[in-house]
Structure 1
Amino acid sequence: MQEQGWANNSNGTYETRFSNLGEIYYCIASILKYAPFINRIYVVTASQVPEGLSSFPASGLCSEDRIVVVDHTKIFQGIPEALPTFNSLTIETMLWAIPNLSEYFLYFNDDVFLNAPIAKSDLIGADGKIVLRGKMRPIWPLEAKYRLRNLRCKILRNRRIAAHFKTAQMHAAKLAGLSQYLEIGHHPHIIRRRTFCEFFAQNPDVLARQLQHKFRSIDQFLPVGLANHLEIASGNAVVRSPLGCAYLRPQTVNRDLLAQLFHPDIAYGCVQSLDEFEPKWRAKFMRIMRAKFASHLPADARSQVDKDDQAVA
């Protein structure tokens, strides 16, 4: 794959980023179960409708208009040169353009889910300020690493340096004029739509540079991070300690981590690259999730777990 003349070996092109084992079912079921105050769930796709998505309203788990599929062409309307895109950072940058989106919205990756009930007060305080979860860190160590990576990229020439989550947060903090960045984890994020609208209206060049990348680039900012840092810079946010997150990855998954899925004090969960889990751990995880969300999962999602169990047996 090529982008702007470079051979693309970015971590944004790994096959696992395009796999699907029904993670989105758990994400939606968790919202229905643990955040009933969320009025509408928008699923952003590229000319696709996730298999079985309609089974949620068909099973009586929500109203027919509760889950809305939004095609890329809707959020990139007027910017056809940005499509097609295979870049989550590019897509996240345009979420504010979803038609009829609320002023405040909660952003989930499809591998993120609620592990326990949350309240509106966990997201927006009584004073109206956005509640951000993370820790403030100095920018300079990340900036030094970023410069070294860019130097390496020039020396190696036809090699693309993989994008980094923290580097993208650093870029976002600098755009907001801060000398520190908010280090965040893999969990849902509260965003104010107007923050994006106003910033990009005033900085169209920043938006254009961000959208030119078809695949993840080390030069891109984290859209959620930009929203966070703009709110911090304007005094419209309060930073609090992170809520617990059961963070499951192929390299680290074990019984103790799976046990966190039963803990009521761990608000969030994230399962990265479920397709790369050892079969026994993948099956255990899916059985737990099936039981955890049995009351909010349609039959289509439960049957997928049965198939995986049979493959492991």
Structure 2
Amino acid sequence: MNKPNQPIDVVYTWVDDGFPGYSDALQRYADDPRDSDPNRTRDNLETLRYSLRSVWQHLPDVRSIYIFSCRPQVPSWLDTSHPNINLVHHDEVIATRYLPTFNSFCIVSHLHLLPGVSRQFLYFEDDVLANSDDLMDAMFTPDGHPWVHLESRKVVPHCKLDTATASPWNLSLANADNALTKRFGAKARRHIIHGPQILDCDLLELMCREFPERVEATRNSKFRSGDNIPPEFLARHLALETGAASLAPSALSNKVQGYASVENLRLWTWYQINRINRRKPMSITLNDSFGDTPNPKVETMVKKQLETWFHDPAPWEFPA
């Protein structure tokens, strides 16, 4: 079995725009309709709850679970006194000059500063779920070296993007690719998968030292912006360039990634979930693509599926 050479924590980034005051604060700073996209801040499916259940079910060797969120948010069902749970608020780690932040790139760029976090940790966005007892093995080579899991799609170079219409995500990928090209030379670089990745505190720190202007621009942006970099992408490719990690075989990355875009069209969402049930990937990502108004029938269908996958409460949940 492939095991890491040291203890491993799981780290989540999570917010819920249903908490009082959050949406008001967001609107005070938003100046682009994309900044107010609820797909990135909504927790209507309680995927964090089920993701934590999935970790308890499939990743029993994890040492601790970190949840990085903005003050004063705490899930109502979560017992933060449980010894395996570390809930850390942004203002405990992120400098005051960057707060409040609604930029996931800014938040991820601080994960290596979480107090006591393991040097290598498994990064989960809050819509990612473990779906196999073999998932941790798929994160490491037989000698304990971390894999980097990439998709088959190539990153689009900045020169081929229309900066007026391209999304901040695609522009940020191009920025990261440009930074890596200047440092290590040009090559075709691929997207990271939609799913878990091993991040390394030393590599995140190296990223901040190697690309300080890019990191500072990212941290100064309240929302994702065209001059940002995505740390989860840049740090993973930096690990490959420096030999700190190895490129995973495509067949293994395909087994790890299980992606579904959860949309208001019920039949399409049902098809994607059914495909996951047939494929049985090692992880599941349920990407919120509902738009402004989720379809209640789709919400009910997906919640029933989550309950089927991960029915048993984890020991850090308060009794219902």
Shift of 1:213: 0.1
Alignment counterpart, residue 66 of structure 2, candidates 42, 47, 55: 42
Kindly indicate whether residue 45 of structure 2 is the aligned counterpart of residue 32 of structure 1: no
Three-state SS of the structure 1 residue aligned to 2:87 is strand
Kindly indicate whether residue 160 of structure 2 is the aligned counterpart of residue 145 of structure 1: yes
- The one-letter amino acid paired with 1:201 is R
Shift of 1:246: 3.4
- The one-letter amino acid paired with 1:125 is T
Shift of 1:257: 1.6
- The one-letter amino acid paired with 2:297 is K
Kindly indicate whether residue 119 of structure 2 is the aligned counterpart of residue 96 of structure 1: no
Residues 141-199 of structure 1 show CA distances to partners (whole Å, capped at 9, x for unaligned) of: 432233x22xx37xxxxxxx6412x4333322332335322212321111111001123
* Change in CA separation of 1:137 and 1:118 when aligned onto 2, cut-off 3 Å: same
Kindly indicate whether residue 298 of structure 2 is the aligned counterpart of residue 289 of structure 1: no
Kindly indicate whether residue 96 of structure 2 is the aligned counterpart of residue 80 of structure 1: yes
* Change in CA separation of 1:286 and 1:301 when aligned onto 2, cut-off 3 Å: farther
Checking the alignment, whether the CA contact within 8 Å between 1:172 and 1:229 is kept in structure 2 is no
Alignment counterpart, residue 163 of structure 1, candidates 168, 179, 183: 168
* Change in CA separation of 1:92 and 1:186 when aligned onto 2, cut-off 3 Å: same
Three-state SS of the structure 2 residue aligned to 1:217 is coil
Kindly indicate whether residue 269 of structure 2 is the aligned counterpart of residue 254 of structure 1: yes
* Change in CA separation of 1:300 and 1:228 when aligned onto 2, cut-off 3 Å: closer
Match of 1:115 in 2: 131
* Change in CA separation of 1:247 and 1:302 when aligned onto 2, cut-off 3 Å: farther
Checking the alignment, whether the CA contact within 8 Å between 2:69 and 2:89 is kept in structure 1 is yes
Q: Which has the larger radius of gyration?
A: 1
- Using the size of structure 1 for normalisation, the TM-score is 0.79
Kindly indicate whether residue 199 of structure 2 is the aligned counterpart of residue 194 of structure 1: no
**Unaligned runs of at least 5 residues, structure 2:** 1-26
Shift of 1:301: 9.0
In the alignment, the residues of structure 2 paired with residue 270 and residue 136 of structure 1 have an alpha-carbon distance, to the nearest angstrom, of: 17
Equivalence map 1:1-80=2 (5 Å): 8-9=31-32, 11-21=34-44, 22-47=46-71, 48-54=73-79, 64-76=82-94, 79-80=95-96
Shift of 1:35: 1.2
Task: Considering fraction of residues, name the structure with more helix.
Answer: 1
- Using the size of structure 2 for normalisation, the TM-score is 0.77
Kindly indicate whether residue 177 of structure 2 is the aligned counterpart of residue 173 of structure 1: yes
In the alignment, the residues of structure 2 paired with residue 88 and residue 302 of structure 1 have an alpha-carbon distance, to the nearest angstrom, of: 31
- The one-letter amino acid paired with 1:67 is I
**Which runs of 4 or more aligned residues in structure 1 lie more than 6 Å from their structure 2 counterparts after TM superposition?**
298-303
- The one-letter amino acid paired with 1:179 is K
Shift of 1:75: 2.0
Farther off after superposition, 219-228 or 256-265: 256-265
Three-state SS of the structure 1 residue aligned to 2:121 is strand
Structure 1 vs Structure 2: percent identity of aligned residues?
Answer: 21
Shift of 1:11: 2.5
In the alignment, the residues of structure 2 paired with residue 32 and residue 143 of structure 1 have an alpha-carbon distance, to the nearest angstrom, of: 41
When the two structures are aligned, how many residues end up with a matched partner? 279
Checking the alignment, whether the CA contact within 8 Å between 2:179 and 2:211 is kept in structure 1 is no
CA RMSD in angstroms comes to 2.8
Shift of 1:125: 0.9
Kindly indicate whether residue 130 of structure 2 is the aligned counterpart of residue 105 of structure 1: no
* Change in CA separation of 1:91 and 1:10 when aligned onto 2, cut-off 3 Å: farther
In the alignment, the residues of structure 2 paired with residue 203 and residue 221 of structure 1 have an alpha-carbon distance, to the nearest angstrom, of: 10
Match of 1:158 in 2: none
Checking the alignment, whether the CA contact within 8 Å between 1:30 and 1:114 is kept in structure 2 is yes
Match of 1:156 in 2: none
**Unaligned runs of at least 5 residues, structure 1:** 58-63, 154-160, 304-313
